[in-house]
Amino acid sequence: MIYHPEKYNIPDERMKPFIDPQEIWNFIEQTKPSPERVREVIAKSLDKNRLSLEETAVLVNTTDPVLINEIKQGARTLKERIYGDRIVLFAPMYIGNKCTNNCRYCGFRASNKDQVRLTLDDEQIIEDVRYLESTGQKRLILVFGEHPDYSAEFIAHCVETVYSVKEGNGEIRRVNINAAPFDIEGFRTIKNSKIGTYQVFQETYHPDAYKEVHLGGQKRNYDWRLTALDRAQEAGIDDVGIGVLFGLYDWRFEVLSLVRHVNHFEAAYNVGPHTISFPRVKNASGLDIVKQHEVSDEDFVKLVAILRLAVPYTGMILTAREPVEIRDQVLRFGVSQIDAGTNIQLGGYSKKNADNQDLNIEQFQINDTRSLGDVIDELIDKDYLPSFCTGCYRIGRTGEHFMEFSVPGFIKRFCTKNAILTLSEYLEDYATDDTKVKGYKLIGRKLDELEKDAPSVIERLARIKNGERDLYF
């Protein structure tokens, strides 16, 4: 698939590669953090201002344990100011693992002859969605390999199929997509299926490292992938997610490159990414990389805190690749979304075999196999507010409109109230008796914090207890 920019009459500043490796390395190598400068940068972020590349480099280069702890505490404070203590929950659902790419870190790679190739048909998709709805899930991300069979029309059809499934009070209200890049026309086709966020991760922003791990297929084209979400924006998809697979190159370079990508979106489209993801390389069938850039747990926690400070308004996603103890740590320092009850086998939910991992039918190994109910229980115990909120998407608070609320931090007004309502739905329809009791105790405490906004939430809570669903602000 070849992209011809002149066909779309797109301004010169768009659709061009925007990563200059030497520029980024100059910031890393020439920026010297002092305690005063580190604290200045943290203070700027706490005023809800996005950080520059130089300011991000200050935090990246900080090695003093006392200052690193201040970075983490700053990230925690910032998250609470903007998002409150709510954690959005979702589940990934793999639709097909056919792939023409040859990525050395991925179990789906074309040269991996041990991988069992599957594509779910409509009946299998419906079975998985019914199971997920029966556990209380409301938000899914559909995952596809890159293959001619997974056309824009096929992805749109899968989205529409998911939305069509209703199981009791269950329904999927937001379907996000993690799939290959398309041209503008393809992205328009997918947009018309009413998707939520479209994710394309660059994997690594360093061009040479990128070539070393992408050995074949369309994905080997660095520039095509780098400008993928520009084409999505031009097609009208204003909710996009970026990310890096940490472990392919120096994590400091990748953090600054993510910030540079954010800068590009703001300059070209007056909107930032809706989410940033930061998975680490995990074991996979056919894994073929030298772990010279492996990111330690200590550095991983640090980089999550830095990203929270660098881009205050953007949602941050942590996946079940990480073990429970790491997830618990980084929840405090900036993560706003996690998956729960995760099974990445194709058709794995309806088979209910999450505890029987087989890397030959999975993309990589997951390390948190807790059920959705177990995760919600633990979040409540730690005073987090579990949320299945889709209010912004339903009302149209996306893209530039979302930025109007989230950049100054006003989004918390909506997030907390909508999280309470979706938690109440879960407690009424799916929770155990014990979870229901402690869940409503948590809701009571959050209502006290809402003060003058509490009566409108209490009125909707009563309606939920009387059987109404899908209420939001």
SS3 of 58-95: the string is HHHCCCCHHHHHHHHHHHHHHHHHHHCCEEEEEEEEEE
Same domain, 340 and 358: yes
For the chain, what is the mean pLDDT?
A: 90
What is the total count of domains within the chain? 2
Last residue in a domain, options 376, 405, 434: 405
Q: Work out the pLDDT band at 8, boundaries 50, 70, 90.
A: very low
- Please, which residues have CB within 8 angstroms of residue 224's CB and are 6 or more apart in sequence? 1, 3, 181, 218
- Please, which residues have CB within 8 angstroms of residue 169's CB and are 6 or more apart in sequence? 425, 429, 469
Same domain, 278 and 342: yes
Closest CA to 230 of 220, 221, 240: 240
Same domain, 294 and 414: no
Q: Please report, as a single letter, which amino acid is at residue 161.
A: T
Q: What is the pLDDT of residue 9?
A: 53
178-208 pLDDT, tens digit each = 999 999 999 999 999 999 999 999 999 999 9
Q: Work out the pLDDT band at 4, boundaries 50, 70, 90.
A: very low
Residue ranges in 274-409 assigned as alpha helix (H)? 297-310, 324-331, 348-351, 372-381, 391-395, 399-406
- Segment (H or E) for 100: none
Last residue in a domain, options 359, 390, 405: 405
Q: What is the pLDDT of residue 353?
A: 44
Q: Which tokens hold the place of 436?
A: 């229901």
Is pLDDT of 397 > 80?
no
Range of the domain at 135: 11-16+79-405
Residue 432 lies in a domain: yes
Q: What is the pLDDT of residue 404?
A: 61
Helix, strand or coil for residue 47?
Answer: coil
Q: What is the pLDDT of residue 3?
A: 43
Q: What is the pLDDT of residue 220?
A: 96
Same domain, 305 and 448: no
Would you say how long the chain is, in residues?
A: 473
Residue 49 lies in a domain: no
Residues paired with 386 in a beta bridge: 87
Same domain, 368 and 427: no
Q: What CA–CA distance (Å, rounded) separates 443 from 144?
A: 37
Going 43 to 48 to 54 to 60, the CA torsion angle's sign is positive
The CATH number that applies at residue 361 is 3.20.20.70
Residue 473 lies in a domain: no
Helix axis angle, 454-465 relative to 433-450, nearest 10°?
160
Q: Compute the half-sphere exposure of residue 338: CA atoms within 13 Å on the CB side of its CA.
A: 29
Q: What is the mean pLDDT of residues 310-323?
A: 92
Share of the chain above pLDDT 90, in %: 75
Which string of DSSP letters, residue by residue, matches 165-206? -EETTEE--EEEEE-----HHHHHHHHTTT---EE---B---
Position of tokens 């918390």? 412
Closest CA to 56 of 70, 42, 46: 42
C-beta of residue 337 within 8 angstroms of C-beta of residue 316: yes
144-186 pLDDT, tens digit each = 999 999 999 999 999 999 999 998 899 999 999 999 999 999 9
Same domain, 214 and 109: yes
Q: What CA–CA distance (Å, rounded) separates 46 from 334?
A: 13
Residue 285 lies in a domain: yes
Q: What CA–CA distance (Å, rounded) separates 350 from 128?
A: 5
Same domain, 213 and 318: yes
Same domain, 401 and 452: no
Is pLDDT of 418 > 90?
yes
Last residue in a domain, options 405, 436, 453: 405
Residue 305 lies in a domain: yes
Same domain, 262 and 322: yes
Same domain, 176 and 306: yes
Residue 1 lies in a domain: no
Same domain, 336 and 436: no
Residue 36 lies in a domain: no
Residue 61 lies in a domain: no
Q: What is the pLDDT of residue 410?
A: 58
Among 190-204, 335-349, 365-379, top mean pLDDT goes to 190-204
- Segment (H or E) for 8: none
Same domain, 389 and 433: no
Is pLDDT of 56 > 50?
yes
Q: What is the mean pLDDT of residues 105-131?
A: 92
Q: Compute the half-sphere exposure of residue 379: CA atoms within 13 Å on the CB side of its CA.
A: 27
Q: What is the pLDDT of residue 2?
A: 42
- Please, which residues have CB within 8 angstroms of residue 135's CB and are 6 or more apart in sequence? 341, 371, 372, 373, 430
238-296 pLDDT, tens digit each = 899 999 999 999 999 999 999 999 999 999 998 899 999 999 987 656 566 767 899 99
